[in-house]
Amino acid sequence: MNGRDLMRAVTEIGTERGRRAWRSALRHRRADAVGLPRRGPERARVPGMLTGTEPTPGGGLLRFARSELLVRVAAGGVVFWSWDGAGAAPSYAVVGEGPEPDPRAVLEPDTGGGWRVVSERVTVAVSRHGAVEVRTPGGVVLRRELPPRWWEPAGAEGGEGAGAGARWAVRAEVPADARFFGLGGRAAGPRLRDGVYRLWNTDPKGGFGPGDDPLYITMPVQMVVADAGTHLVFHDDPWEGRVVIREGEEGAGSGPDRPGTCELRMDGGPLRCWVLVGTPARILQGWSALTGSPAVPPAWALGYQHARWGFGSAEEVRRVVSGYRARGLALSAVHLDIDHYAQHRVFTVDGERFPDLPGLARELREQGVRLVSIVDPAVKVGDPVHAAGRAVGPAGAFVRDARGEEVRGEVWPGECAYPDFTDPAVREWWGGLYAERLAQGFSGVWHDMNEPVSFAPFGDATLPRSARHAMDGAGGDHRSAHNVYALGMARAGWEGLVRLRPAERPFLFSRSGWAGMQRYGGTWSGDVETGWEGLRASLALVLGLGLCGVPYSGPDVGGFGGSPSPELYLRWLQLGAYLPLFRTHSAIWAGRREPWEFGPEVERHAGVVLAERERLRPYFLTLAQLARRTGAPYVRPLWWGAPEDRALRDCEDAFLLGDALLVAPVLEPGADRRAVRLPRGRWYDTATGTAYEGPGQILLDAPPGRIPVLARAGSVLPVRGPEGEAVTLEAWAPARGRTGGGVLIRDPGPGFDPGEVERYAVRWVGDAVVVEGEGGGQVEGVVVRGVGGVSAVGAGGVGGGAEVVARADSAGALGYGPDSVDGVGPA
């Protein structure tokens, strides 16, 4: 028990809920004492010396004295290896059996008595002691994993329990200049500095900031970026673990480099690994193919959404929505938290405060506003949902302990049971329950408390580790099921909603999850603290999750638990407007989040922010469809297109929105200017039209009413036209002698139609900028910007005068000069 646990334990003992939580925590501890025997004596094991090899499709099987290693290279250069016979399936992250082996990959002898698998895009070398190296075709080492080590029970009587397996650890070395990203949602990111990162989905029990770890979504997924190249590594094991990162150091002068290191220690589970190499775009495309394409949210879910724990009644919801309408502020959805339930019980409605919820939903929908419902996994013991769950299958739907008794925990409704989402029959039953939500008029759901949470005054606030789970037929306890629990819940909800309404793609996002969760929707920050550190953590979470393959996410704008100052609220709103999930949310005890609550000046600026989000809605929809096709996140780090640029790798306070926009939020109080690091190429300040030449750093104004947003020269963005509904194109002039382009994917409707990709090119023709469609015809009615520093509307082309370009300097100074053919447009 740490100091934080002690303070909470002392505080909560004085309340009835606190006393129940104490009893629940003690029951869980006793359950583990019975169902989770102590680990006895252990023996360590390493692979030993290589004794033989056997070619297999795409690679080979290498036998060592005390273990065996399977290495396989798949088509596209995706690498898989596993120890001790672990296969690629079954896996909660990987779709099917994974990609097919590359028939051209061959196993051949390497130097020093080792062997290597050679393919077109990657080489995997294995030493005679079991070290594994991932190399470029030119022989440059991207990653070197040293021989693993296992700790196994010395005898059956000292084991951990049936099927637990051995603990294991691997240590990897990467180039000295490498930077680490990923590991799920980390508040201290997006760049992961030296430290220990726990792999155990956790409710931090209150507002969190950059110093809190772990959080709700942890994944053994890393993206490592170095001069030599970029790679993603995924150790496919959902057990609890720890990652120890230490960045490298390049030698001064003739001194040696100290490589970066990453050590992974897991408490059990299979030792199997996937590695993808290439550009960031290629890696995320391969990751999407491996773990599943991201779900595309409905078009309305890409607009601004308002949530609050504590709306209290239907009349309060109407009042808030009317406030937005009266002020002309855009609003797409309202989210109802647990207070709309009857005594917090899932799949119920408080009939007194919401006497006609379907009628309220119809009324709001006529105004263009959808209702979204919270759904928690914990089911109140004794209510009708609990009774129905007990009748599912021979053993019921709920998690049980080693003695076969239902595991009970303390959550908002009181004593609760927990569905076992690793059981297919339970997932099917739970998915059917969403019919009640649809009948109440809800258009989407957000999963909360699904780490899963059981209130506890000490220790981990979750289920006992000895709790038994089906694990889709494999069987296991909570140590193997905990991190994939929310993933199973998301699958149950998604599949249920698809069965219930097959013509509509669901809107679902989840507080917790694991690798592959993008198949079923997105996520949000959870209870980020109200403060400037929480604002910074919001951006870190979205960037890190995107690099782990989860493109749709966003924070609680304004923070969850406090009362932001007008300045902080506005800066948070400005950041949120350029993130995929744009939602305000707050706790029942926190300050309001409606823009007009912060005064007339903030209200006026908020109107501009919300209008700009609406204007960019077609661009967000295009990015969502592209994410489904390519795996590319909407929000990308500045180094996305140039991972070799070290200055960009270390820039954490700005991001790219798609290929076209660079957003530089204000993350510090009192700032009215900020430095912006530019990637290579020409960039236009969208507020002034001034052009800047990167790479380098510039200083831009950031008054209270706006944050710096720059457009890449030569980009074509789909936006809403002045009338609000029609989609039009906005083109930014390329540099002279350069071309550019962009794509548009129109809203295909509520179903699963992927829509058609419309491609456009932009170029100079004489003294005019023209935009052409894929067939070469000139496009009418395009808004062309970046010509003479002013906006202009023309029939596909606009004449231009002399261009003046501000050249970014690495020290932040600016020099001015005439344009030249050396300007760089988009790739």
CB-facing half-sphere around the CA of 561: CA atoms within 13 A: 11
121-169 tens-digit pLDDT = 999 999 999 999 999 999 999 999 999 999 998 864 433 333 357 999 9
249-258, 289-298, 484-493: least confident range: 249-258
Report, in angstroms and rounded to the nearest whole number, the Rg of the chain calculated over CA atoms. Answer: 27
The C-alpha atoms of residue 787 and residue 763 are separated, in whole angstroms, by: 12
Can you tell me the distance from the alpha carbon of 147 to that of 159, in angstroms, rounded to the nearest whole number?
24
User: What pLDDT shows up at residue 76?
Assistant: 86
Nearest residue to 376 (alpha-carbon basis) of 333, 340, 424, 325: 340
Lowest mean pLDDT among 433-437, 677-681, 789-793: 789-793
The pLDDT assigned to 812 comes to 36
Looking at residue 251, its amino acid is G
**Residue pLDDT, tens place only, 375-422:** 999 999 999 999 999 999 899 999 999 999 999 999 999 999 999 999
> Does residue 815 or residue 664 have the better pLDDT?
664
State whether the Cα torsion 190-192-193-197 is positive or negative: positive
Name the pairing type of β-strands 333-336 and 304-308.
parallel
Q: What single string gives the DSSP state of each residue in 531-549?
A: SHHHHHHHHHHHHHHHHTT
SS3 804: strand
The answer to whether residue 639 scores a pLDDT higher than 70 is yes
Average pLDDT score over residue span 72-96: 96
Give CA–CA dist 122/503, Å, rounded: 42
Q: How far apart are CA 671 and CA 664, in angstroms?
A: 12
What residues are labeled active site? 448, 451, 527
Would you state the structure tokens that stand for residue 58, as one six-digit string?
């795409």
Residue 808 pLDDT greater than 90, yes or no: no
pLDDT score, position 807: 65
**Residue 796: pLDDT band with limits 50, 70, 90:** very low
Q: By three-state DSSP, how is residue 245 classified?
A: strand
Predicted model pTM: 0.94
Q: What is the pLDDT of residues 100-123, one digit of tens each?
A: 999 999 999 999 999 999 999 999
Where are the alpha helices (H) located in 306-393, listed in sequence order? Answer: 314-326, 357-366, 384-390
Given a cut of 80, whether residue 301 has pLDDT beyond it is yes
Task: Give dist(CA 574, CA 665) in Å, integer.
Answer: 7
Report CA-CA distances (Å) from 14 to 372, 526, 612, 772.
35, 27, 49, 71
Q: What is the pLDDT of residue 139?
A: 94
Q: How far apart are CA 296 and CA 620, in angstroms?
A: 11
**Three-state secondary structure call for residue 489:** helix
> Which stretch of 130-139, 672-681, 784-793 has the lowest confidence by average pLDDT?
784-793
Treating both helix axes as pointing N-terminal to C-terminal, what angle do 314-326 and 357-366 enclose, rounded to 10 degrees? 10
Q: What is the pLDDT of residues 704-734, one digit of tens each?
A: 999 999 999 999 999 998 876 789 999 999 9
Under a CB-based contact definition with an 8 Å cutoff, are residues 412 and 454 in contact? no
* 797 vs 483, residue with greater confidence: 483
Which pLDDT does position 206 carry in this prediction?
Answer: 82
Summarize pLDDT for 305-334 with one digit per residue, the tens.
999 999 999 999 999 999 999 999 999 999
